[in-house]
Amino acid sequence: MIETEAPSVATQFAPYGVGLSSRLLLGTAQYPSPKVLADAIHAAEVAVVTVSLRREAARTRGGERFWDMIKGLGVRVLPNTAGCRTPKEAITTAQMARELFGTDWIKLEVIANDDTLQPDLFGLVEAAGVLARDGFKVFPYTTEDLGAAERLLTAGCEVLMPWGAPIGTGRGLANPYALRTMRNYFPSVPLVVDAGMGAPSHAAQAMEMGYDAVLLNTAVAKAVDPVAMARAFAQGVVAGRTAFEAGLMEARDMAAPSTPVAGTPFFSFEPKA
């Protein structure tokens, strides 16, 4: 068997000019233990993890231990404003995160609905503008709405993070048509599918569409074996991106023979008398 080196698929993913070694971004919530989290991060070889300020930033011994563990992993931290319901709340949380984690990167969440955790697009655009003017590198958690996407870019965002499905549902890409449209509409904007993925095949599907990366949490953290699942998602991301770069065949409505008919030998048999 001929062994070949796995292709590098991360060279073109550089949000805000920072080149990353992986196209998989991983959340840090709900893991059974800090060790399992650390092992999952190592297994998937992720370069960026998200951290909720509300959960980890309190000046407590537990929060300090968690932060020391994350720093020891050598990964870039993307704090998020999870749970914020208003632009003011999200802006304040982002400012606290910058001070605590020492980064101007922020995953911006402004939630409109408790049942779906759908982004409040009006509040999101408002908060993004304020934070971008304050020097933040904003990663907005949004929907596939093209109008909102244009306003976020105008506000100063250089990355968009549309949801695949509502957070924690594991349903995969609920509206692939809209996601594909967004990818085609913004061909040069770094796009990250965020939330709702439940299986590595969902991540591969997003990457096959040409998305630059995926961000997920629950599907890994709540797996029977989070470490193995993290590795599986990383492999799905690589497979999907490699397929996109190789050029996927177009779907057809009718069958097409894979073996050409021309030149095929035909034999005729005459029945015996």
Residue numbers annotated as active site: 107
CA-wise closest residue to 102 among 149, 70, 133: 70
Instruction: Write out the two tokens for 129.
Output: 């503008």
Alpha helices in the chain (DSSP H): 34-44, 53-56, 61-72, 87-101, 121-133, 146-155, 176-185, 200-208, 218-221, 226-246
What are the angstrom distances between the C-alpha of 182 and each of 129, 147, 188, 254?
21, 10, 11, 28
Only one residue has tokens 């949000």, namely: 15
How far is Cα 208 from Cα 240, in angstroms, rounded to an integer? Answer: 5
The distance of Cα 46 from the centroid of its chain, to the nearest Å, equals 11
Question: What Å distances lie between residue 148 and 47, 128, 133, 134, CA to CA?
Answer: 28, 11, 18, 21
